[in-house]
């Protein structure tokens, strides 16, 4: 039930990949790579003294990422 509590706390839904059809895995791995390069890699050289300032910096980068236009799509994430 820990995963259910986690999902409820962050108001997210976990959707499993298709069984025996690994077509979804590449999509997920690519999204992880994009988030890493657009969020965490850009914060790599900064120093944070408390968790609040780190969370604010991550949230700012995630918001900027979510506002970028998707390739060949007229809308944002």
The pTM assigned to this predicted structure is 0.60
3-class secondary-structure state, position 48: coil
Regions in the chain scoring below 70 on pLDDT: 1, 72-73, 75-77
Phi then psi for residue 76, to 5 deg, are: -90, 175
Query: Taking the domains of the chain in order of start, what are their residue ranges?
Result: 18-77
Distance (Å, whole) CA 23 – CA 47: 38
Predicted confidence (pLDDT) per residue in 14-35, tens digit = 887 777 777 777 888 888 898 8
Residue corresponding to tokens 């060949």: 72
| Overall residue count recorded for the chain in this entry | 77
CA dihedral 28, 34, 36, 37 (to 10 degrees): 160
């Amino acid at each position: 039930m820990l995963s259910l509590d986690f999902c409820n706390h962050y108001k997210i839904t976990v959707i499993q990949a298709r069984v025996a059809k690994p077509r979804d895995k590449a999509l997920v791995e690519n999204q992880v790579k994009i988030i890493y390069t657009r969020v965490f890699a850009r914060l790599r050289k900064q120093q944070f003294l408390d968790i609040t300032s780190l969370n604010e910096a991550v949230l700012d980068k995630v918001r900027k990422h979510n506002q970028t236009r998707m390739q060949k799509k007229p809308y944002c994430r």
